[in-house]
Structure 1
Amino acid sequence: MPPSVLRRTTRGTGRALSAAVHLVAAVAVVLSVTVPLPASAQGPTDRLLTGQALAAGDGLHAVGSAHVLAVGAGGDVTLSLGGRVLWHTGTTGNPGAWLVQQAGGALEVRSRADAVLWTTATASPGARTVLKPDGVLYTISTAGTVAWKSAGVPGPTLRTTVADRVPSGGLLLPRESVTSPDGTVRLTMGTDGALVLTAADRTVWRSPATRAGASAVVAPEGDLRVVGTDGAVLWSTGTTSPGARLVVKDHGRAYLISATHASVWSTPDTPAERVPTVVSLPLPEPLPVVSGGLGGTRPGTTTSSGAALDERPQTTVLAARPQYVDPTSPAARAAQDARADGRDTDAALLAKAAAQGSARWLGPQDATATVASSVRAYAATAAAAGQTPVLVTYAIPDRDCGGLSAGGFATAGEYRAWIDQVAAGLARAKAVVVVEPDALLHLERCGDRDARLAMLRYAVGALTRAGAEVYLDAASSNSFGWGTVALRDMALRLRAAGVDQAAGFAVNTSNFQRSEHEVAYGRYLSALLGGASFVVDTSRNGTGALAGPDGTVWCNPAGRALGSPPRATLDGPHVADLWVKTVGLSDGTCAGGPAAGRLWEEYLLGLASRAAW
């Protein structure tokens, strides 16, 4: 209609027409946001264009693969392959919810009442979302760039609704979690197939590890299950309560709550981390200086430097040269690989761990014929970097009593010959050496006690004469910290193994005990030994030890963190913090880890991400 005709209409007709135009425009705006996808007319499609929506029962089908994105009747949007869910929005419990590609670029799940349940929060006007054959959902801008993708982004992290529960029929994929309202308690589906409950970053409960890649499902029948990738039920609570939901509470427990609001299952009460008795004990008087004593003799009342025991110098070479940072350590190699793969976030965390000190562990794999040259080269590389090489001897016969780190040389003669070669490689190197972790801890359990003490004395003497700063391993406060009798026993073991001829002793090697507990333990032993120096392994004690229902978890405990970086402390007998354990290496095939001594990148990423620095 020409403008002149419009001007000749009556005023009332003009008002009505104007209102109609505005109404049509308003409807058009609404429809631009919520136009349903005409799937029946088009057949299966792989994309949502701007303004299009999927209702329950609708879906996208990748072109060139069998991947399917579907809106479920319960409100969850799942991306699956052959029935196995690979990714989802975590919005179960919202019947009638729908998925819409907003004109502004955000992909959203909205409730029947039009509330936002989940959103990518993407700002890219006119963008479209496409399900590609690689099984990844992409939001593509009008310029053809990727504005968002589902890979590496667990759906539930984008939820806008309450995140403390999994409704009936809901699931948690590996690495997905729900959190208590105050944010301190988290239930996570681990990649090892175990559900893990943490409170203030401390693991308080975990289900048995099952299979990598398993998911957790709150079955409609009211059973919490861990289900394998093949659909097999690997673990369950064994409960029946149709419609039950899983809820995480602020006080550190997870519950299955029935439709009538009753608890039908829960995790146990949170175990308390044990504080060793030694923390509150007054320092003791030194042990008497006598010959003999637990399997050996001690020549005189002075250290190898000639100082009286109560006048020994409490210093360390680490005060001038920090612990060596090996650019070829397992953590450093893992960081390089992650960077090459384009995993920048992982690479940064791995580099964080690699940038601190690392110790070189020596064992029978370092053959007697070649160990001197390899140790000499390692020490020279550290010296050229202006740093102190830290080494660990771990080769004594009957090592680890046949446990997960079993090994060692077959005879005392082989061990002594090997120690001689290690000492030859360390001559004039100004190195720090931690001698035989757990050898004194297992003194009464592995092989002949007196023979073991003699081997330890031999190692201390040979390495000290080579100029090394030697520390005998003395276990941890969790091992001998529960009373004065046990503490005295450990001091006697150290003395019989030659600690008075060494620089001192090491505590917490490869362990997780808090530094304040270990320093109290070390000070007590030092007082018994007339002022011996000690070092603390802080490599993995950032969140302390994990208290489990059956006691402290020592093998690959979940929720741990890197401790304080290596440094010379010179705080009385506590002369240094070291990273003795090679961070990132598994303790053994427990909690889903690889064999002892193998790199476990996922565990290392967790240690680094939880570090307080």
Structure 2
Amino acid sequence: MNPEWKAKAESVSGGSRISSNPTAVWIDRIAAIEGTSGSSSNGPMGVEDHLLEAVRQGASYIQFVIYNLPGRDCAALASNGELGPTEIDRYKTAYIDPIAAYQNDARFRSLRIINIIEIDSLPNLITNVAGRATETAMCNTMKSNGNYVAGVGYALGKLGAIPNVYNYIDAAHHGWIGWDDNFGPTAELLATAARAQGSNIANVTGFITNTANYSALQEPYITVTEQNRPSKWIDWNRYNDELSFAQAFRSRLVQAGFPSSIGMLIDTSRNGWGGSARPTGPRTTGTLDEQINGSKIDRRIHKGNWCNQSGAGLGERPRANPATGIDAYVWVKPPGESDGSSTEIPNNEGKGFDRMCDPTYGGNARNGNNATGSLSGAPISGAWFPAQVTQLMQNAYPAL
């Protein structure tokens, strides 16, 4: 239980109802390794401080997000990082190596140390590169220079050598790679990265889906069929919720060479979609799109919308072994920490302004040129957003 997030949660009315849930510690820049003061997303506690606190609590595990690749988040500006696209050596020596030194300290052998490896990186090399309408220049650069693959491989090898470390690689979500032309190639790319820079697949405990996203765990009133796949919401995807996607993608990863012992995590911190607007049954009248839109519990305008979504709610509370092939539901994105600013806010943390966080923006190819559905008044990525966590609690499902 991260005491820094706990304090923020309890600063909001009703926050004590959720503040004892375990959440991940995001190490999103080099300075965060030792701790920072005055940072939007990190507090004065560094990696060693958090590990010491976990031991003090008698916790069995602690979760870190390893998130500082060169050219980070090549398809979105809100979560750009501090390292340029060619700074792979600095990533290794100034970022991964010091984290590994702390995690390998004998004082922390009693802990299961869980690392979430580089979210929103490798899947971008499948979906947002040349040949796709969604391509970006930075994603093309990171595919050509190989530094996403090299960075993930190095992190896996260095951290995976520690006996009580468990690495889970980010695997996007169903609304990103659930289509046939993304599904298999992403699995194969993840296998390539797991073997890069001297690493091997034994350094991978599993994969995580829906990190910091909003895709519903299950859609109880919609079953994907050939008849409803043409709807605008499903859009020919094979999957319409995270649980079915994660279970199917796990099987595909085994085909790609990972052992059958791998498990999946699903980030359920913001995918509950409860509240008064939650459907109580399927809609069976109207056009296909009207039926799907009236039946779905995920109330986003488009599955490509990812920033501070209006109407979202807390999802399933963190728990282990909730379903076949799923190691745990987790809160990797701490509820109430912003995805990005609604308007441009100058900062010294390398975080840009992405119009996908602007509620007045009409969208782009990555969200079908739809409105963003984002909340107004949001601070920069990682900063505390009280209005968001208040709404998340109001719309929690299961309800608080």
TM-score for both structures, normalised by structure 2: 0.64
Matched, 1:358 2:23: yes
Give secondary structure in 2 for the equivalent of 1:546: coil
Corresponding residue to 2:88 among 381, 390, 412: 412
The 3 A distance-change label for structure 1 pair 469 and 377 is same
Given the alignment, which residue of 508, 520, 527 partners 2:244? Answer: 520
Query: Between Structure 1 and Structure 2, which shows a larger proportion of helix residues?
Result: 2
Cα shift at 1:442: 1.6
How many Å apart are 1:546 and its aligned residue?
3.2
CA 1:368–1:360 in structure 2 vs 1: closer, same or farther (change >3 Å)?
Answer: closer
Do the aligned partners of residues 494 and 563 (structure 1) sit closer, same or farther apart at CA in structure 2, a change above 3 Å counting? same
Unaligned runs of 5+ in 1: 1-324, 339-345
Counterpart position of 1:375: 47
Letter matched to residue 448 of structure 1: M
Once the two structures are TM-superposed, the CA of residue 407 in structure 1 deviates from its matched residue by 0.9
State the match for 1:327 in structure 2: 3
Match of 1:599 in 2: 384
Among residues 184, 200, 210, which one is paired with 1:488 in the alignment?
184
1:430 is matched with which residue?
112
Shift of 1:540: 0.4
For 1:367 and 1:434, the matched residues in 2 are separated by 16
Match of 1:538 in 2: 268
- Is 1:500 matched with 2:194? no
Are 1:566 and 2:313 an aligned pair?
no
Give the deviation of 1:523 after TM superposition: 1.5
* Structure 1 residue 353: Cα displacement: 2.6
Please name the residue that 1:440 is paired with. Answer: 122
- 1:521 counterpart SS class: helix
Query: What is the rounded CA distance, in whole Å, between the counterparts of 1:518 and 1:375 in structure 2?
Result: 30
Change (3 A) 1:438 1:419: same
Does the Cα contact within 8 Å between 2:8 and 2:384 map onto a contact in 1?
Answer: no
Please state if 1:469 is matched with 2:166.
Answer: yes
CA distance in 1, matches of 2:117, 2:190: 11
**Percent identity among equivalent residues?**
28
Task: Supply the distance in 2 between the matched residues of 1:367 and 1:511 (Cα, whole angstroms).
Answer: 23
TM-score by length of 1: 0.43
Deviation at 1:377, TM superposition (A): 2.5
**Aligned AA (1:332):** A
Q: Shift of residue 383 of structure 1?
A: 2.5
Q: Does residue 457 of the first structure (1) align with residue 153 of the second (2)?
A: yes
1:585 to 334, 337, 347: 337
Larger radius of gyration: 1
Residues 394 and 408 in structure 1, CA contact (< 8 A), matched pair in contact too: no
Residue of structure 2 in register with 1:384 after alignment: 56
CA–CA distance in 1 between the matches of 2:160 and 2:179?
A: 32
What SS does structure 1 have at the residue aligned with 2:70?
coil
- 2:177 maps to a residue whose letter is F
Q: CA 1:413/1:605 → structure 2, altered by over 3 Å: closer, same or farther?
A: same
Displacement after TM superposition at 1:367 (Å): 5.5
Q: Which runs of 5+ in 2 are unaligned?
A: 37-44, 130-138, 195-199, 219-240, 255-259, 274-296, 342-356, 358-374
| Corresponding residue for residue 260 of structure 1 | none
Q: How far apart in 2 are the matches of 1:529 and 1:585?
A: 31
**Alpha-carbon distance change, 542 to 378 in structure 1, aligned in 2, over 3 angstroms:** same
8 Å CA contact retained: 2:9, 2:336: no
Amino acid at match of 1:433: N
User: Which aligned pairs between 1:12-31 and structure 2 lie closer than 5 A?
Assistant: none
* 3-state DSSP of counterpart to 2:156: helix
State the 1:522 CA deviation.
1.5
**Mapped partners of 1:446, 1:391: distance in 2:** 28
Answer whether contact 1:399 1:446 (CA < 8 A) is retained. no
Alignment of 1:198-277 (within 5 A): none
Offset at residue 409 of structure 1 (A): 2.2
CA RMSD of aligned residues (A): 2.2
Equivalences, count: 275
Q: What is the one-letter code of the residue matched to 2:81?
A: G
Q: Structure 1 residue 545: deviation in Å?
A: 3.6
User: Are positions 1:575 and 2:348 aligned together?
Assistant: no
Higher-strand-fraction structure: 1
User: Which residue of the partner structure matches residue 305 of structure 2?
Assistant: 553
Q: Which amino acid letter does the alignment assign opposite residue 527 of structure 1?
A: S
